[in-house]
Amino acid sequence: MFNRFIRKLFSSLIVLFCVLFIIGISEPLRAQNALPITESFSNATAPNMEFGGNPGAFLTASAAPFDAPGSGFLRLTTNGASQTGYARSTGSFASTN
């Protein structure tokens, strides 16, 4: 009985160690934000941003009856089929290599 308990405990500890080891290895592999651009898209305008596509991306705070300024978001497409939408920055930013 005691040996069975020890084996289960040992097996559990090995599994726990393996999980923690995998998490420890994968932590440095997380994606990181490479661009210094911060935009909430919650207002009616987004400086230095260009929107387009078919039918075209837009900010919901700038188009009635969607959202009030400050609580909007970027909408790339509607709920239809075969659409495209994009938002791109027209501003410049410093780059370090």
Torsion sign over Cα 34, 52, 92, 43 = negative
For the stretch 48-83, pLDDT in tens is 999 999 999 999 998 778 898 899 999 999 889 999
String of DSSP letters for 25-87? HHGGGS----S-------SS--TTEEEEEEBT-EEGGGSTTS--TTS--EE---SSSS-EEEE
Query: What's residue 26's pLDDT?
Result: 58
Query: What's residue 52's pLDDT?
Result: 94
For the stretch 12-31, pLDDT in tens is 888 877 676 777 665 555 55
